[in-house]
Each structure stands twice: as C-alpha cells, then as structure tokens.
Chain A
Amino acid sequence: MNELPVRYAGEEESAARIPVSIVWEITLACDLACTHCGSRAGRRRRDELSTAEALDLVEQMAELGTRDVGLIGGEAYLRKDWLEIVAAVRAAGMECGLQSGGRNLNAERIAKAAAAGMQGIGLSIDGLRDVHDEVRGVPGSFDLAVAALRNTAASGMVATVNTQINTRSLPQLRELMEIIIDAGATNWQLAITVAMGNAADHPELLLQPWQMLELMPLLAELSLEARERGVFLQPANNIGYFGPHESTLRNVVEDEIHWHGCVAGDTVFGIEADGTIKSCPGLPRDYAGGNIRDRSLRDIWENSEPIAFTRRRTVDDLWGFCRTCYYAEVCMGGCTWTSHSLLGRPGNNPMCHHRALEMDKAGLRERLVKVKDAPGHAFDHGEFALLVEPAVPAARPARVPDRILVHG
C-alpha cells in the first residue's frame, strides 16, 4: 500500500479541524439482532431524516471538506433511498462506503450500490459460523455475510471485513482471517467490543484488560501475515495503545506512525438517523452537539461545546492509571467511547496494552466487574468497577478482594 485511504487525516487537517471522515447512520432499521449492538438497532427511528433533508446534509458535509462518508445502520440498505444518498455523496465529490451485516445484501443490491458509485463495502463478520450466527442473532447470517463479501470483491469495489473482538471471537481470529482472505477481503478492521447498548447486557462477551497481553501480540502477528498476502489489517481506535507492537499495528505507509489520541470532533464525527450530530458515532447522547434540523452542520461543527471535548482535554482531565502514564500527553486516555462506556466518563481506559504490560510487571492485573445495568436505550451504557488483583492465578483470592481501586 503506497497511499493512505482518504479517510486518514494529517496533522494539518487535525489542526484545521477538517471533518475528513464521517460515519452516518442513515436508519436504525436492522435485519439482524446482534448481541453486541451499541445502538440496539432493529426498528427505524420515528423521526429519521427525509430524503430531502439527507441530500441537503450531503451538501453541507462536502462544504466542510469531508472526503469520506461511511454509511451504517441499523442496516443502511433498508432505507429505500439509500442509493440516492450514495449517488449524492459521490456527486458531491466524496468517497462513499457501506458497513453492513450482509444478511440481505444480495448480488443485485451490491451491483446497484456499485452502479450508484459506492466504492467499498465492509461486511461485519464476528467469528466463525457458530460464533457469528450466535452473536448476530440469526442462523445463517455468517454464510450470507461471506457471500456478500465474495460478491463485493467480484464487483470491483473494495471488500472489507469488520470484526468485533470479544471473548467468543478472540480464539477464532486466525481461522477467520483465512476465510475472509479466501473470500476476497483486502482490508480487515478489528475493534474490541465496547460495553454499550446490547453489549452492556452481555458482560460475558467483553474482554478483560489483561487479555490485551494475549490480543496485541496476536494482532501484530496476523497483521504481518495479512500484509504479506495483500491484506491490510486496520486496528480500530479502541485497539492499543503503544507497547512493542504499536508500530506494526498502526503502520500504514511508514513505521513511525503511532496512536495520537481520540480524534472525535476534530477530524471525524457521527450522524444519527434523526440528524443528531455526535463527535463520534459510538458515543452516548451526552456528546450530541445538536441536530441539523435546528442548526447548520457548520454551526454545530464549529460552535457546539459537546463536540469540542478532544481539543479542550488536557492531561489534568485524565484519571486513574492514565493520569500518570508515560504516554498521557500523546494518548489522552485512548478511545473515549470505550472508557466512557465502561467507567461512565472518559480519560481512564483499562483496555490498553501498555497499561496491561506495566501491571503485569508489577505482578498485577485489572478486572472489570459490572456494577450497574444499562437502562435499555440506544447508545446507553451500564457501569463497571475496576478491580486490581494479583496477576498470578494462584495468588488471587477466591472472592472479590475488599481493597482495590474502584474507579472514581
């Protein structure tokens, strides 16, 4: 790979706050029933944008300098005018991709998407058949997703796979890589399942912080193998941070690339189907900057305070381990979405390789224990306590220890 995908932002764009990449939930309607769905998708929102409003929004995105628009849902193709939106994005000079579960993304739909100008489709495949079908809530969904992947590759569009890493899929990643390469994937994006929405109701799915010690070397290994076979493994923003595999994992065109903090609201933002603008598509409603039915996109982008948190944040806003971490000034607590979903506020992220390594050196590890349920609406979260315990299993007490750092 010699060139960065257009959704990658450089330093100048970060400084200028160009929203280079936008993730747009165009409907919350969905034909899957995923155990880990952050937005608890299923039925469409009652007040989703009309076609005219959506097309106007496309113009506003282009005016802000956006280069890449990723359509998501729910399931984006369940919106009747989705191809019209794709065509409008392309006509406005931006790249357009789709993220899909693939259940009903048949060859005809894929051909129509390509004809409308779509350039890439990412299929969500979360493990081998048994695990995928279970977590996606629909028997047969794995085979349908793989078929959609093959059809996408055959169409000439960029065929990508997005995989959630959790306790079920982690042991299957290597085998899954073989399947997706065989089916024609050229990009593989991996993200750790975040404790949001339905996933907050399934803590048994969530990785524990110490599992970074297993995950990161595995991803580095897979990344190198994939690259040799022409496949680009992309760690999502909630995978990291630093440690000896940072360069291998973050490397796109040169090996000095490293994690540099959450960019929500600086070079990316998310849109909900009702026109709500958030600095990151995954974040809860606390981060909503406004609605395009009330204000222009530019006004929200430039003046809305809830969107400004990444550029306002300083090391003093970090807490827990992250506050005194060697990488604090650069990392700023990793993925805001992950830390907020786990601990109720950003700035302390236990899902971190460097942190797990430092803990391990001290003979310790961290464990997340759910202490509060999520209320049950889209993009909601529960709350977890963060326990510190001996890393050696034999040294751990049978019950939860009393001492211990509980977040806060």
Chain B
Amino acid sequence: MAEQGRVAPRLRLCRGCSQFVRLDHADCPFCGGDLDALEADYDERRDELRRATDALRRAMADRGEEP
C-alpha cells in the first residue's frame, strides 16, 4: 500500500467567542476565556435545552399533536 495521507491536528471550539483553538491552550487566545469552564457551561445549557425540548415533545404527544 502507498504511503499514508495527511491527517491534520484537531482544534477545539471556544464556547466563548466561537474561534477554534489549539488543544494545548487552557485559555482562549482570542477572548481569554477559560476553555474548560466555557465548555462545561455550554454542556449544561445544551442539556437543559434538550430536557426542555423532550418535555415539550412529550406534552405535545399527550395532546395528540405532531411535534
């Protein structure tokens, strides 16, 4: 088999300013935010939104409505 192709390094998304940053940063070089803390906050808000969406779907289903 021929040689391998290129696989680029991955970046992570800063949830504070939406810039992609290198994995070795603790703080975003663009907005200065704490990347892990911003990620945790984002996850919490996303889970909350999912729970709310699920509850809405269930309520609509109980009323016989299409979600």
Contacts and interface: CB of A to CB of B under 8 A. Distances in A.
Given A17-B3, A326-B29, 6 more contacts: A15-B4, A256-B13, A260-B8, A267-B5, A308-B3, A310-B5
A14 B7 contact: yes
B39 to A, nearest CB: 11
Nearest to A255: B13
Contacts of A42: none
Interface residues of A, number: 31
Chain B interface bracket (under 10, 10 to 19, 20 to 34, 35 or more):
10 to 19
A171 B9 CA distance: 36
A311 B9 contact: no
Interface in B1-34: 1-9, 11-13, 17-20, 22, 29
Contacts of A16: 1, 4-5
Contacts of A258: 11, 13, 20
Nearest to B8: A260
Q: Nearest 7 pairs between A and B by C-beta?
A: A302-B2, A260-B8, A266-B5, A17-B5, A244-B18, A311-B6, A14-B5
B6 A303 contact: no
25 contacts: A14-B6, A14-B7, A15-B5, A16-B5, A17-B3, A243-B19, A244-B17, A244-B18, A245-B18, A246-B20, A247-B20, A256-B13, A258-B11, A260-B8, A261-B6, A302-B2, A311-B3, A313-B6, A326-B29, A327-B20, A329-B8, A330-B8, A330-B9, A330-B11, A332-B8
Interface of A: 11, 14-17, 242-248, 255-256, 258, 260-261, 266-267, 301-303, 308, 310-311, 313, 326-327, 329-330, 332
A242 B4 contact: no
A17 B2 contact: yes
Nearest to B11: A258
Nearest to B18: A244
The residue among B8, B17, B20, B29 with the most chain A CB atoms within 10 A of its own CB is B20
Contacts of A313: 6
Contacts of B19: 242-244, 246
Contacts of B17: 244
A260 B11 CA distance: 9
A268 B7 CA distance: 14
Contact of A247 (B3, B4, B7, B13): B13
Contacts of B4: 15-17, 311
